[in-house]
Structure formats: structure tokens, C-alpha cells
Structure 1
């Protein structure tokens, strides 16, 4: 191909952007011109627009809610509008291939791709496919899976198990820079707590109610989500951030333990970096249960400890962290045995092969 043009899509949460962030530098190296179709106000816009040589196109999209809401009546019209906008964008950019990480914004994009006869590749991170990917699968040429268990939920002729895509820059962190960034010392272990891009109110509340007890053992880096910093707490060794982007590799290099939700992209990154983790997955009341499956799979393989959100209290958080501390050597030993597939290179090969066809 003389001209290499690709459109990326995916959004709604940071997890639906991370794989795209991992492959963008490789696409640039290979000479691709990159456009990104995302929502008007999603976190993907904030993350992608700051990247040089990537053109961001916002479109209208619905939210694919699983609960009753008057917005559900409006959403089909938003999706139809988004399809029209996608058709215009694809007509101008004329890509050879589309790569989708999922999320509600991807549905009108994949439908528009089919109407424009542009082949599309979908990536599914969780054990069971999300609702957006389920709706988009009929319009894709290839569907890539992170977990081998996911293959039973995918159409055989389209499905490929590739393993986890991990951002390569995460391995380049500098522990000293991470400690300096968070104004921490070298004398205590560092505990990083994150509840996803939007934060997690119940985790935030449990941590803050026990922050004085926790800082006796740990220095804490708390990624609490947008607008969730509590400026009334000013305790040495407890640092709050809404979100960390550029400095994340350094902060992870300085991190000894992690408390996290159980989104697949994040936990595979912690696995690759061999960080003992306490996973608090989203409950079934708040989700389709995908994080529970992810967390249980990691616990079964000896990579993590799990605390169900329904059982999360200030006391159970302390108890679970004490158990994590005790089990950390075993968890790290299990992580060292993990043989991850070189998924990033596989994604790139599939993108190139699909574009050529």
C-alpha cells in the first residue's frame, strides 16, 4: 500500500483507550496516518487529543444503558446521527482498516465501516464480550481476545486469541522520578490505589476513613478520579491525584502494591510489571459482572487477592491488605512464571494483513 490510513475508535472509560495508546507509537513508526473517532465528552478525547499526529473526530453516540431511563429513547437517534457522521469522516479519510477497542462510541463507527466497506478489527479485553462489542461483532472482519476463555463467546471464523496488549513505555519507568513526583520517601513501601478513570466512591471512602492507619505501614498514591480529590486531607505520605498520565511509568516503578478495580487492561499491566494486587471488582449491581470474572481468574492463577465490593468496609480493606502483604512473595513468584504472548506485535500484524486484503 502506498498510502497507509487507519481509523481507531474506542472510549467511555480509560480501559477502552489503553490498547489504542499502546499501538499508536507503532503505527506511527510504520508510516500510518492516524485518525481517531470518539465521543464528544468522553475520556478518550482528553487522552487522544494531546497526541501529536493523531486527528480526533468527535461524533454523537448513545450510552447503551442496562437500566430504564428516558435517555434510552433518545439514544437510537444519537447512534443514527453518529453513523451519519462516521460515514462523512470515512469518506474524507478513506482508511484501509479500522481498529476498535470497544465502548459505546464504537457501535456507530463499526456500522459506518460496514456501509463504507472498510474492514474492521475489534479487540475484546474481558473474559466475556461487552455489550458494545456484541453489537459490533457482525460488522467486523476480525475479533481479538485477551483471555483464552473468551474464545467460546466469539464466532470461530473471526476470532483470534492474542493475549494482553501492554503499553511498552510502562517498562521504562524510573523509581526515583516516581517518588520525587509524588513527594514520597524510600523508607516505606508504596501502595497505589486506583478506582478507574471515573474513580470509585466506595473505595475512596474506605481508604480515607483508614488513611492514618494505612500510612503507618504504607506511603499511598491515591488515583481517586476526576473531581474526587479531597483537599481537606493533608497527611504526610498520602498523595491524591485525579489521574496520572505521562508520569504513570515512573509512579508504577515506585509502586510496591496495588489496590485496583479489575478492568482487564489494567490488571494485565500490573501482572506484566509484577505488582502484587488487591482487586476490588465492580459489583454485579453496577456492571455486567465482567470485572468479577477477571478478578477471579487472576486469583485462581495466584496473581492477585480479591475483595468483593459488597464486602468492602474500612476493616475488611485493612485485613485484605495485611493478607496481600503476607502473600506478596508467593504472588510475585507466580507472576514471574507468567508467559505472556507478544500481543502487541500480533495486533500490528493483523491490522496490516486486514488492510492489505
Structure 2
């Protein structure tokens, strides 16, 4: 019996890929032939081809970038999107998917348009409180869209939107504290603070952390995921401080090794911290640097008692230290709130929901 084919898409940031990474093993177990349509140089290509070199077929297409600011490229990018639609239609005619699952990001736009043109069902997923621009554009072309937050449903057509809650990749729960400590050369006698600035890193968070090392290191060990090209050579070998530019498979172990987390407020990440019961200090991307989705994510988590929040506009070495002390003071209350949270769905749950919309023979 010939395998059914599914096409996954999504990219631009790690957050637009992580759910796809989570569900791929389940899709493979279900007997699907899994194909991924992404950009030629986006982070999605590196993540998917590294994690599934033999199990997933990766297809490169042309795609424009969806900008909220003026750029001369805004005039040429629609033609790249159209080229991407044509390329994707050719891919779909060849592999004949029964469904397309899109996680958003600009590369997903030509994919969902192509699927609609060929009569192939499309299921989207939105992780943030308000829909991203790519998912807004995709709405007329999709069969259904799943959300993480109930609050997102008010922005979407009721007949094609469902809140699933968070979905956590299974491998996240395979980490161990000892392996994480070993990766960093820590002996486990002190509590550990994990700092994450997102897949691209964050210069402003990096600076605030490094300017506070003199107050952090006497009491804590610090794991610092600083972003590619953002390592500080002068701090290599510093006792109690371990910096990584970027990690993939090691992340689960580093999360298990940590007692507190300081991070941006991407939806996928903060729900992972919640699932692992990690008190968190969130520093969301400012509205000047984003569409404000992380600000909404962070404020909702603060409202529910899962986090303390420091807005990027107020971030200084002093406010960083003050907010971290607030995290320490409130950690017991945060853990109590986390224990009352709704458990996340499994990748198997998510796959079952997606496949309800597949094209029937």
C-alpha cells in the first residue's frame, strides 16, 4: 500500500519550526511520507535537514519577506511569492499530499496558496495571542487553524478555528539534570540560571546578563545561550559561567539543569518552561522590534502567575537585577500556579487533530 504524503511548512524563526519538529516522529510512525517546503537559506532548512536527514524530504522554494516597514524589496517580493506558488504547485503535483500543515512565517504563504489552488486541505497553527501576518494572509486559503491561546479565537473566524492549548515535543522530557550540568562543567552544588535570547540571540539581554555576572556568580551558575556570533571570548573559562552560541539536542538537558530561566517570550519556549515547572523572567521583544506578540504572551503569563516580566524598554543592568530578585522572591508562588495549569497536549494528540482534515480518497 502506497504511503500517504503530508507537506509541512513554516520558517523564518525556530519558533515557526519547533512544532513541526515535534510532530514529525509521530507522522513517521503513522506511516506518512513527510515532505517539508521551506526557504533556501532560512533556519528551517538547517533545523529540519539536521534533525531528519533521511526521513524528511526538504524542498526549497522562493519566498518574499513580509515586512511592516517600507523597503524597496516590498515591490519585488510579491513576484518571489508568485514564483514560490508555482514551485510549490509543481512539488504538490509530484508528491500528491493529502494535507498541508503550516506553522506560519513568510515562507508558508506561497505554500498555502498553492495548496488551495490544487484543492488540498490546509491546517494552520498559531502560537501567539494575536495571529501573525503570514497566518492572517493565509486565512482565506486554510481549512482550519488551531491556536494555543483561547484569547486568539476572537481574532479568527469561529467556523474554522479551535484552541488546542500548547503542544510540547516529547524529546523535551528526555533531558536530565546531570547531563546538563556535565555539558557546562558545573558540579550541581548551586542553583542554575539559564538565559535565552531567542534563536537569533539578543544583544541587549546579553549585555544586561554580563553586566550582572558580578552579582549572579557568587550565588548561581549561569548558562547563557547568547546567539550565533555573540559569544564573548573574554568570558571563556570563567568559573560558574558557560556560554553557547546556539544549541539543538542539548537544550532539553540544559533546561533540566536549570532552576530559573530568563528569556524572550516566544510562545513555544514559554510553554516548554511551564511544562517543566521552571520559574521564568520574561523580557519580550519590544513593539518597536516586532508586532508585539511577545509582549502579549508575557503579560498573559504574568497575569496567570507563571512569570515576572521586564519590558525591553525598561531593561537596564539595574532593572535586570531588580526583576531577577523579584523572580527569586516569587518563585514559590510561581511554582504553585504552574502546578494548577492545564497539561500540554502531546504530539500524538496534535497529529490526530491535523489528520481529521486530510483529503479523503
TM range (shorter): over 0.9
Aligned to 1:40: 40
Aligned to 2:9: 9
Aligned to 2:76: 74
Q: Would you say 1:191 and 2:185 are equivalent positions?
A: no
Aligned to 1:260: 263
- Compute the displacement of 1:236 (Å): 1.1
Aligned to 1:289: 292
Aligned to 1:123: 125
Q: Report if aligned partners of 2:120, 2:359 keep a CA contact under 8 Å in 1.
A: no
CA distance in 1, matches of 2:13, 2:264: 13
Show structure 2 runs of 5+ residues with no match. none
For the residue of structure 2 that corresponds to 1:196, the secondary structure is coil
- For residues 144-194 of structure 1, what are the alpha-carbon distances to aligned partners after superposition, in whole Å with 9 as ceiling and x for unaligned? 000011111111111111000111111111111110011112111111111
- Compute the displacement of 1:326 (Å): 1.1
- Compute the displacement of 1:309 (Å): 0.2
- Compute the displacement of 1:330 (Å): 0.8
Within a 5 Å distance, the mapping from 1:165-244 to structure 2 comes to 165-234=167-236, 235-244=238-247
Q: Report if aligned partners of 2:283, 2:311 keep a CA contact under 8 Å in 1.
A: yes
CA distance in 1, matches of 2:333, 2:139: 39
CA distance in 2, matches of 1:139, 1:209: 48
Alignment match of 1:161 (pick from 140, 163, 182)? 163
- Compute the displacement of 1:356 (Å): 4.5
Q: Report if aligned partners of 1:124, 1:146 keep a CA contact under 8 Å in 2.
A: yes
Aligned to 1:339: 342
Deviates more, 1:4-13 or 1:219-228: 219-228
For the residue of structure 1 that corresponds to 2:233, the secondary structure is coil
CA distance in 2, matches of 1:336, 1:93: 44
For the residue of structure 2 that corresponds to 1:157, the secondary structure is helix
Q: Report if aligned partners of 2:168, 2:344 keep a CA contact under 8 Å in 1.
A: no
Aligned to 2:324: 321
**TM-score, length of structure 2 as denominator length:** 0.96
Aligned to 2:140: 138
Aligned to 1:306: 309
CA distance in 2, matches of 1:232, 1:20: 37
**TM-score, length of structure 1 as denominator length:** 0.98
| Alignment: residue pair count | 357
CA distance in 1, matches of 2:59, 2:226: 28
- Compute the displacement of 1:341 (Å): 4.7
Aligned to 2:354: 351
- Compute the displacement of 1:344 (Å): 3.1
Q: Report if aligned partners of 1:38, 1:44 keep a CA contact under 8 Å in 2.
A: yes
CA distance in 1, matches of 2:114, 2:359: 20
- For residues 78-114 of structure 1, what are the alpha-carbon distances to aligned partners after superposition, in whole Å with 9 as ceiling and x for unaligned? 1111111111111111100000000000000000111
What is the RMSD computed on CA atoms of the aligned residues?
1.2
